[in-house]
């Protein structure tokens, strides 16, 4: 029988107590036995052992048919427990009150005023809404109090919901204090980064810029970079492009604050979409710099971005991006990349490099297209020459 911290007093706990009484009178039988014998018997519902466990530990309120099945099954094993029909009807009356309890509770407690009250509402309703509301733009210590309570109770889904809500319910002016407090708490490793990334992915460019200014003013450059990377998760690439333009115009370009990006990569498609939006916003000069900052090496991601830029009609930017990436990584790295990719049959985009004598560096010489117009570097896509303009002949 779970404690009151897991299932607070009320109709649900009363129902659980009656079920446990019948359960004990029946043996109590093992969970696997309960599931198997119900499956083989003549009952109104079937329950696997995991569902039986969740019902008995209070994590799940059974349906009316599941409750009827459990009541009749336990009575069948326990002759002194009472008439199965009468027990089922008695438990169903309690179940109906348990079903109505969350609505009644919400009518009397329209908004939680304490963490304990919010936890009780969440337990009664099976929803984290009260916890999200009490954490909205709240003092960071209250947020941590809620997260501590959820962790101690073993409610990870509610904790995840609360964490995700922080980036949507906090004003940008409160995010630095919140993330600083969370970042200092060893119980919540990685939560600070999630809040910052989600903020940039959900909020407007102006709000993200406001937060960026506060982070830089506090000297939190790594958090600022986490924020900028998170902006590539925005469902509207134009918002990300606007955010980057605002940063550059304000002297806060990521590449001016840290020479090299060494964090997690930006999704390829998102980066290409933002590059396209930069061109549409009248800032094509930022494309190469932005793409190279988040794609520092010449590899499959750089090639894919170039292909998407070409598809978007930005051919010159595709060329210059690949040319700069190749120069940064060097021909030897590109050759190593080719060697590893040549053995992957499922790649639609394929590289080949020609040495100074015009010989292709391609172990199996698959999908080549001649001498690539006498240029020493080329990309082959589906057997056709692509981008023979990447390098001048004297490179």
At 275 the pLDDT is 87
Both tokens of 292, joined, read 């190279």
Q: Check residue 184 and give its pLDDT.
A: 93
Whole-structure pTM over 0.85, yes or no? no
CB 317 within 8 A of CB 305: no
Across the chain, which has 395 residues, the per-10-residue mean pLDDT values are 75 90 91 92 90 88 91 87 87 86 49 76 83 92 94 91 95 95 92 95 93 94 92 90 91 82 76 87 84 74 76 77 70 61 47 45 37 40 39 38
Structure tokens at 196: 């910052």
Residue 255: closest CA among 290, 206, 230: 290
At 245 the pLDDT is 92
Contact 11, 94 (CB under 8 A): yes
Residue 267 DSSP one-character state: P
Please give the pLDDT value at position 199: 96
Q: Around 46, how many Cα atoms within 13 Å sit in the side-chain half-sphere?
A: 6
Q: What is the pLDDT of residue 364?
A: 41
């Amino acid at each position: 029988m779970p404690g009151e911290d897991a299932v607070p007093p009320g109709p649900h706990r009363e129902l659980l107590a009656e079920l446990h009484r019948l359960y004990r009178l029946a043996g109590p039988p093992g969970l696997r036995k309960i599931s198997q014998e119900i499956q083989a018997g003549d009952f109104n519902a079937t329950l696997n052992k995991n569902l039986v466990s969740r019902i008995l530990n209070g994590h799940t309120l059974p349906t009316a048919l599941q409750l009827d099945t459990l009541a009749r099954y336990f009575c069948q094993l326990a002759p002194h427990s009472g008439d199965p029909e009468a027990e089922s009807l008695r438990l169903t009356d309690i179940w109906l009150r348990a079903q109505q309890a969350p609505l009644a509770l919400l009518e009397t407690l329209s908004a939680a005023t304490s963490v304990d009250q919010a936890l009780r509402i969440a337990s009664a309703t099976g929803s984290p809404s009260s916890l999200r509301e009490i954490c909205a733009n709240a003092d960071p210590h209250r947020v941590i109090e809620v997260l501590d309570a959820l962790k101690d109770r073993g409610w990870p889904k509610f904790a995840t919901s609360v964490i995700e809500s922080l980036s949507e319910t906090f004003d940008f002016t409160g995010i630095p204090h919140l993330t600083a407090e969370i970042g200092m708490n060893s119980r919540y490793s990685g939560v600070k980064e999630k809040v910052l990334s989600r903020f940039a992915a959900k909020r407007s460019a102006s709000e993200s810029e406001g937060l960026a200014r506060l982070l830089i003013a506090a000297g939190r450059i790594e958090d600022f970079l986490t924020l900028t990377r998170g902006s590539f998760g925005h469902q509207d690439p134009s918002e990300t492009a606007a955010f980057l333009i605002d940063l550059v115009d304000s002297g806060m370009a990521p590449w001016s604050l840290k020479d090299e990006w060494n964090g997690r990569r930006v999704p390829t498609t998102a980066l290409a979409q933002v590059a396209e939006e930069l061109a549409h916003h009248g800032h094509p000069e930022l494309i190469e710099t932005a793409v190279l900052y988040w794609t520092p090496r010449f590899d499959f991601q750089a090639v894919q971005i170039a292909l998407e830029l070409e598809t978007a009609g930005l051919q010159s930017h595709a060329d210059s991006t690949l040319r700069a990436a190749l120069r940064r990584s060097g021909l030897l790295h590109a050759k190593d990349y080719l060697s590893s990719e040549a053995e992957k049959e499922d790649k639609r985009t394929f590289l080949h490099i020609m040495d100074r004598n015009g010989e292709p560096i391609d172990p199996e010489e698959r999908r080549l297209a001649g001498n690539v117009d006498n240029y020493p570097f080329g990309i082959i896509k589906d057997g056709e020459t692509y981008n023979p303009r990447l390098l001048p002949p004297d490179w």
